[in-house]
Each structure stands twice: as C-alpha cells, then as structure tokens.
Structure 1
C-alpha cells in the first residue's frame, strides 16, 4: 500500500481523489513554497497552518531555545500590526490562533470560519515574513519565556520526560530541551534571533496546509498574493528545500543505559523507563504503534491492568513513542507513591520483555490493539486541526501522502510476529531510567 510521493518540484497535483472535487491537492508555488489542502464540504470551518522545517535540533551551540523564542516573537508584531492587532484579528471573528515548536519543525496555525480564511492567511503570512523582532520585544519576551520554563520545571511530569529524552538520546541534538535553559535564554539577543529567522524562514522552507471548507486554487492565489505583498522574493525557478534524511546516528551519540534522579519535594515519584526506537520513516513504526497500544495505550493495556488494576500501585501509567528523522525513543511512564517506586519499576521492565515472547493469548491482545489504533485514527481525523497537522507531517516528515484507508490497511496488516519482533528488539537495547521525586540524586533503582 504505497503512499503518493510528494516530489520537491514545482507544479500542482491531485494527491487523493479525482481531479474535480479532489479531497487532497498540492501545489508548489514560486519560491518553493508548498501548499497542501484537504477539502471537506461537510464543515463550515477551516484550519490553516504555516510550517517551517526548523526545530530545536537546528540551534547553534550556546543559543538553545532560539527556535521557541522566535515562535513567541512572531506574535509580538509586524510592520503592519501590533501584538494587540494580531490578537484582536482572531478574537473578533471567534477564531483561535497558536503555535507549536517541535524538535524538527515549527507550526503557526489558526482555526476560523471558512469565510475568514483570507484573514487568517493574511495575518499568519504577515507574522512569518514580516515580524518586527525588535530588541525591546526580545527583552520583554525573555521574561515570559523564563516564566514558562519555570512553570515547566515545577511540573515533575514535564521534568521526567525531559530527563529521559536526555538520558536515552545522549549527546544527540534531539536530546536537548525544546525551550532551552535559563542560561541559554539569557544569552539570546535580538541579533541572534534575527539571524535565526533569516537563515531558516525562507520561502523554500515554508509549507502551508489547510483542511476544512477550503478551495485549493483560491488559497494558493491568496497566499502568493500575501507573500508578494510582504516583499518576499519568490524565485520562479526555486524548488522546495530538501527534507531531512534518516542518516545513521554516530556511534556513542546515544546514551548507553543512563540513570537520572532529580530531587523534588513531591508527593509522588514520576518514573520513566526509555530506550532508543525507530525513525519516523521506518516501516516498523506501524508494529511499534501496535506494541505501544498493547503495553500502555489504554485501560485494557498490559501495564494499566498489571500496575493499576491488579496491584494498585499507580493512578497514571502509560507507554509512548517519539519518532524523528534519524532517531527515536520508546518509553513507559508511571506516577506512584515514592515508597512504591521499586515495586512499580518491576512490571514496567517485565512487561516489554514478555511482549516479545509468542503466546496465543497475546495474539488476541494484539488484534484488539490494532482495532483500537484504527478506531482512534479515524476519530482523530474528525476535526480540521488534526487533518491540517497530518498534511504538514506528510510533507515535511514522510515525503508521501498516505490516505486514511491506506493508513488503516498498514495498521491492519501488522502481524503478531511483527509485534513480537519489535518487542524483542527494544527489550534487547540499553534502558535508561529517569525518576523525579523526594530522593537523593545518588539514589539507585534496579531495572
């Protein structure tokens, strides 16, 4: 079930559906700007996103957090709009606007009525191409970001996830926190932010995706007009920037079973066990998603049943997977009374090993997990924001568009043997442990 390739060449193509009334269409505008839309005539809203292929992994040493800093600053104003003007523009039409910085990309998005899509395109394009980025705004927003970092540091669940990523990924840039640190944020000035913006926010790096009640051709004309209005040079011969490739990670970059304990005066211990996993384009990711559902994806998962239902050791327990262009990791989380930490760690290490051993009763669990994933995928596509995000990842991450039916087919084709093989692979890799709670930092726990 191959997906539809998304070539880095100019032109318009129908990605899914027939030429007339196509569900998904794609155009590469002059300058290498990419536009993807999914038309849904059943809704009266639309979500528009502007993606930039830059994330926290792309930052210069000593200036970690610059990508997230820049995301904040684009809402501070442009040559045509103040920060208040930007906020009022969306509030006045009942719209929602926000942004998210990831480790490999950044996205600015808005959800509005279909009749207000031109407004959203105007404001977001203006923000991305014409931000003021003044020294005064940098200094004032620095305080806001430091408060955000402090807020995250007060949440032990956020801290433990940051620490396990650092432990598993080691010196790899993906192991760094997205927001940077108080020290690196203090070092960032207006000149550095401006340089970061000029380097990465170029037309060939921009991807616009929209889903809902949207006309593809009209949106392309609108975006090109807004880009030209901003003074952006759209070279008609330019192709889009290349995608990240799944290159081999240098030996010694990843952690080799690290243990991290962070002391916090909390009522619970927050525990994550993690290991390296697969890249975002690895075909084993479908089997991993089924394994994730089996181990910690819901109330019937093995971890939930063993840790919470049978033993009563934790309220929150789950598993998760994070996949990137050239790396990834898999983890299991639980929050428990500090005195029960060792008791919780035991099934968290035993269940992944057991999943790698073939037993007929587990085959039924794998079939149920596959059904859960398929249902969750369909239900998750019921809102235009999820569909907009899916288009962005198809363009920036996968380089292909996989229809919903094909995605369901890929999940459904995962066999028990596939899941066992993935489980055995992960179980044989070095495991890292991160614990946040009322423990001395030299405290050891046995995996």
Structure 2
C-alpha cells in the first residue's frame, strides 16, 4: 500500500511498505535538473550533486563514504535533465542512519572552496571520459541535434568552459533557489515502521525552510538536421530519431509497445533483421525518453562505416512497414508480455519501487498502480499502433547524429528519396 503525506513546509513523502524484505530504500528527489539552467550555468545541477558528498559540519567526505559501507548499505546520486536524486539502500534496522546521512548531506554541505576546486577537476575528467566513450557521447550529440539551442538539448554535465567558470556564489545561489521544501519529494520503499519513518523525516526534512519556484516550461522546437562529429574510432556510432511523447501523454503505452517491437530487446525487429539476419552490427536498439512537455525517440547502432547505408536502409524500411502494415498479432502479444514481465519483475527490487514513487510524484503528481499500467498496456491494439506510428514516426522528420570516422550527411535524404 502506498501512503502519501505532506509536511507543513511542503515536503512530500511517499511510502510503500513491503513486509517480506529486510531492506529499505530512501530517495530524496529534487525537482531541478539541467533544463533549469541558463547557458552560462550549464552543468551546475550536476556540480551541486557532486558537492553534496564532500563534507558537512559533522561529517567529512570520508565519513560520508564510510558510514553506509560500514553497515553494508549503498549511497549514491544522479542528475537528469529534469530532476536530481540522492538515495540510500540499507537494512531496515539502519533506516535512521540513512535518513540522518541524506539530510545532513543535503542541508548542511559546506561548499568549501577547496572542495569546489577539487571537484571541478573531477568533473573535467568526467567530461574527458565521455569524450572517450563515443557510444555514450553520440546520445548527447543527438539530443543537441534535434533540440538545438534548448536546455533539453544540452549535456547534463555541461561543458569545459561552463564548468571552469562556475563560482561558489553561483553554486550557492542555484542551490538556495531550488533546494526548497516545495521542490522535494522523499520516497521510501521496503521494510519499515511508518510511524518511525514519519517521525524521522519530520524531524529532519520538516526543518527545511524556503519558498518554492514554479518551473516555467518552454517546450523545445525540434529541428530536422544531420550532424556528423568526426572522431578517429573503429566504429561509427549513429543515432536516428524524432520527437516523442511527454510522460503524461495518454498514448505513452502505445509508444512503449512500438519501441519494444522495433528495438526493445533481442527479439525486436531491428536486432533480428540488422544483426542476426544481416550481421551488419554488434549493437542496435531503440529507446523513448519522456519529459514534462516533450519526448525523444531514438534508434542507436554502432557499426563499421561501410555498413552505414545498408543499416540505415533497413531502419527506414522497418519504420515504413510499421506505419503502413502495423504489427502482427503474435509480436504485439509478445511485446505486451515483455513490458508486463519487465515491470512486475522490477518491482521485486525495493530501489526500483522507491524510484517509481519519486519519479511518478514529480511528473504526474500521483503514482499509477502496476495493475493500471498493465491494464493500459494490454488494451493497446494494432490500430492504435498504426495510428500513432503514422503520426509520430514520419521519417521525413527524422534527425541523424553520428560520432566516428564518417560524415556523409546527405545519406539520410538519399535513402528517404529512394524509399
């Protein structure tokens, strides 16, 4: 059972008790990410996330690293385009320690200048790491291609110039603006006593003060273009795709099934046709990312440059086929069962349940039950798929981005003209 409460200061708390486990996951979800940054401050949300681990008045950075390790727990954080999450997973008997540690990090971090300068160097090394990972870098290049000039099109980590120029005053101003009660959701899933949970969270998060900031969303205007970034690598890394659906769109489950059938696993059309039948690639898959007011559908593959044309022709062929002919009853049922299985199996993990609570509250203001999700997945029909595919998957609107030793930017237009 999921319980929802709101503290007097506006912090929202969601709890889900799971009696048959010994662990508990606690996540603090802050409603701020890279889309809330100006160009000058690009990467500041991610920078602040790093600084939360660098020490407080009562804990050094080493203390923060050691305290949950000492009891077999796990502590981490991540930044996305629209939110930042700090989370811990521990045995139920150490729940109080996890809450104390997370709240101390979030509200008492020192932002010491030496730590800021040291962590700046760490992030610059992280940027170099991404530059050496073209299979990851290409997804940022693709987002920047389709949403050029919009914050959603910028890398979460920022760039070398912005990271170098961020000051302590910048960091504190941004932190004070967004790390406020109305921007925070605390999600707890696993084994716990709810009275003790509420008592502990009220004593820590209930002390937080500050006024919230309403997020002013400006939806990105998608571009249709091709961007080839030369890099001396063995493979060409390609992303091709189009705008998708926002997370609250009623057709999101139809699109999930389309994505699953096209590139969502080993049995998908793209994997079977391009890798298994033709041997053109090692990796090929698709994904759909959703945000508050927009989405992104992408097909990725890594391959030798002499195979690019053949692989892209097969991708476009499958797109046209699903738009024109829909899907077979057998593959539709398989996709439904795959999504159902993935969802229900994931719920055996308390961290996944906690993440589901936090993200759903931030995006939807409610938590949709697994039964409701399954019901909506199972209700999708072939006509739903054809209708949405005709609307959303128009190859004429596709963008292409690549990283590697290939720069034939005209190839997409040539393939579409021949299709």
Asked whether the equivalents of residues 38 and 151 of structure 2 are also in contact (C-alpha less than 8 Å), the reply is no
What residue is the counterpart of 2:416 in the other structure? none
Asked whether the equivalents of residues 38 and 214 of structure 1 are also in contact (C-alpha less than 8 Å), the reply is no
What residue is the counterpart of 2:89 in the other structure? 111
Question: Which is richer in helix?
Answer: 2
Alpha carbons of structure 1 residues 402 and 227: separation in structure 2 relative to 1, 3 Å: closer
Pick one of 246, 249, 254 that aligns with 2:219: 249
Further displaced range: 349-358 or 408-417 = 349-358
Q: How far, CA to CA, are the matches of 1:60 and 1:220 in structure 2?
A: 36
* CA deviation after TM superposition for structure 1 residue 248, in Å: 7.0
Alpha carbons of structure 1 residues 301 and 69: separation in structure 2 relative to 1, 3 Å: same
Asked whether the equivalents of residues 25 and 216 of structure 1 are also in contact (C-alpha less than 8 Å), the reply is no
Report 1:235-246 matches (<5 A): none
Pick one of 329, 343, 346 that aligns with 1:380: 346
- Secondary structure in structure 1 of the residue aligned to 2:19: coil
Count of residues in correspondence between the two structures: 412
Report 1:38-437 matches (<5 A): 38-227=16-205, 232-233=208-209, 249=219, 253-255=221-223, 257-358=224-325, 362-428=328-394, 430-437=397-404
* CA deviation after TM superposition for structure 1 residue 241, in Å: 6.6
Asked whether the equivalents of residues 147 and 222 of structure 2 are also in contact (C-alpha less than 8 Å), the reply is yes
- Secondary structure in structure 1 of the residue aligned to 2:412: coil
What residue is the counterpart of 1:446 in the other structure? 412
Q: How far, CA to CA, are the matches of 2:209 and 2:250 in structure 1?
A: 38
Let me know the Cα RMSD of the aligned residues.
1.7
Further displaced range: 38-47 or 345-354 = 345-354
Where do 5+ consecutive residues of structure 2 fail to align?
414-419
Q: Deviations over 1:91-150 (max 9, x none)?
A: 111111000100000000011000001000000011111111111111110000000111
- Secondary structure in structure 1 of the residue aligned to 2:325: coil
* CA deviation after TM superposition for structure 1 residue 267, in Å: 1.2
Where do 5+ consecutive residues of structure 1 fail to align?
1-22
Asked whether the equivalents of residues 11 and 205 of structure 2 are also in contact (C-alpha less than 8 Å), the reply is no
Asked whether the equivalents of residues 177 and 213 of structure 2 are also in contact (C-alpha less than 8 Å), the reply is no
Q: How far, CA to CA, are the matches of 1:268 and 1:179 in structure 2?
A: 24
Asked whether the equivalents of residues 24 and 191 of structure 2 are also in contact (C-alpha less than 8 Å), the reply is yes
Further displaced range: 196-205 or 66-75 = 196-205
* CA deviation after TM superposition for structure 1 residue 227, in Å: 3.3
What residue is the counterpart of 1:9 in the other structure? none
What residue is the counterpart of 1:7 in the other structure? none
Asked whether the equivalents of residues 295 and 301 of structure 1 are also in contact (C-alpha less than 8 Å), the reply is yes
Alpha carbons of structure 1 residues 186 and 32: separation in structure 2 relative to 1, 3 Å: same
Q: Deviations over 1:134-170 (max 9, x none)?
A: 1111111000000011101110111110011111122
Q: How far, CA to CA, are the matches of 2:308 and 2:3 in structure 1?
A: 51
Q: How far, CA to CA, are the matches of 1:83 and 1:199 in structure 2?
A: 24
* CA deviation after TM superposition for structure 1 residue 442, in Å: 6.5
Q: Deviations over 1:378-411 (max 9, x none)?
A: 1111101100000011110011211111111111
